[in-house]
Amino acid sequence: MRFTTLFWPNPSNERLNTSSENTSPKTESRAAGRTKLGWLVFLIVIAVCLLVWLWCVGFVYCLDDCFPQWLAKSIAGLIGIGFPLLFLNSRRNRRVPVITLGVVFVACLVGFKTMQPSHDRQWGEAQEVLPFAEFETEPSDASDTEDLGRSEFVTVNNIRATRYGPVAEGGPSRYNDTYDLAKLKSVWFGVDRFTEVEPLAHTFLSFEFEPGSQRSNFLAFSVETRREKDELMYSPIRGIFNNYEVIYVIADEQDVLSVRSDVQEHVVQLYPVRATQRQARDMFVDMLKRANSIRQSPEFYHTVTSNCTNNIVYHTNKVLDQPISPWQRGVVFPGYSDWLAYRLGIIDTELPLGEAREKFRIDQRVKAYSGQGDFSKFIRASD
């Protein structure tokens, strides 16, 4: 069968023999099978073309950082309208629109691959300064019990401690602090439900230390888009097309939680994590090393492959015996991340998930205790 028949099958024109009376049932069955295969291939090609077309339109539309906004939108509109019109007007030769789309796709793909992340941009105040860690000695790789009591110190620089809402203190505030890895006590998993669309959410971690000389006993890590001054809102679509760099925000809990509860009025849950001291320590060290790596070599954020949740999963998999698939529903859609963590036994609770979500919901407590000295203790208090 010719490719053109596969690509645009036309059963009314398909003739295998000169007369129907001479066509055997076996031949008719083969002809029907070829016709079905032709339609299947045609539908697959159409689906691929549709995805490629949408990707090209989105990529060009999001190039308004590189070109004047009117130009990027005009070209995106031309691709968006031109390809369907070309397809509808090329019934006799469908290869023309497909080849045209292929050329456009290759051009867009080359542009996409040549984009480079950078630290040299006009960043918003909250994400202008990158955090980094300085280890006193290279952290040991001991077993779960060996040498865990031995002090190993790390200094974390540019910890963000900005205050929001009624206790706001002006612009971003940062400080440096030193932590003893031997005093790392536990891990907490946060889910910020910033929209009513259930699959969408932001996730973060908080590490709890035993009381010591450090300013705060809790240190939070939030993997976010590093936005420029004119990028006021996060766009999941733009996040697909290398429009954002990634940043590991390291902050005290009042910073990370208050901006979400006091200012943005999101629903926030903070769950205790079932982890050994060794697992908690190894995750903490690994996340600090990743923050150092990003400071040295900028990386793009990606809505699907390098977002808040699958970066957490990346670190989590290094301490688990059974790695979590990055394509699990709770990883691809962070709004279901607590469901996945609950199902895997990572959330430390015996309650049903619905009750756990209510018990560990903290946004109202965050509002009530903003500015309090024992903020982290109060927001975890049981009702």
Give residue-wise pLDDT tens across range 240-282: 999 999 999 999 999 999 888 877 788 999 999 999 999 999 9
Q: What is the pLDDT of residues 154-193, one digit of tens each?
A: 999 999 998 876 656 666 789 999 999 999 999 999 999 9
Q: What is the pLDDT of residue 7?
A: 47
Q: What is the pLDDT of residue 165?
A: 65
* Arithmetic mean of pLDDT, 280-302: 96
Q: What is the pLDDT of residue 307?
A: 93
- Say if residue 143's pLDDT is above 70: no
Q: Please, which pLDDT band fits residue 109 given cuts at 50, 70 and 90? A: very high
Domain residue spans in the chain? Answer: 3-114, 125-379
For residues 350 and 339, give the distance between their C-alpha atoms in angstroms, rounded to a whole number.
Answer: 14
Residue in 336, 161, 337 with CA at minimum distance from that of residue 259 = 161
Is 65 in contact with 243 (CB distance < 8 Å)?
yes
Q: What is the pLDDT of residue 27?
A: 65
Q: Which helix (H) or strand (E) holds 280?
A: helix 277-296
For residues 57 and 8, give the distance between their C-alpha atoms in angstroms, rounded to a whole number.
Answer: 25
Residue in 232, 205, 237 with CA at minimum distance from that of residue 218 = 205
Q: CA-based Rg of the chain, rounded to a whole angstrom?
A: 27
Q: What is the pLDDT of residues 8-47, one digit of tens each?
A: 445 444 444 444 455 566 566 666 666 777 788 878 888 9
pTM above 0.85, yes or no: no
Handedness of CA 230, 233, 238, 243 (dihedral sign): positive
Q: What is the pLDDT of residue 169?
A: 66
For residues 71 and 221, give the distance between their C-alpha atoms in angstroms, rounded to a whole number.
Answer: 38
Helix locations, the chain, DSSP H = 3-7, 25-61, 69-88, 95-114, 253-258, 277-296, 308-316, 329-332, 337-343, 353-359, 363-369, 375-379
Which of 3-17, 43-57, 77-91, 181-195 shows the highest mean pLDDT? 181-195
Q: Please, which pLDDT band fits residue 213 given cuts at 50, 70 and 90? A: confident
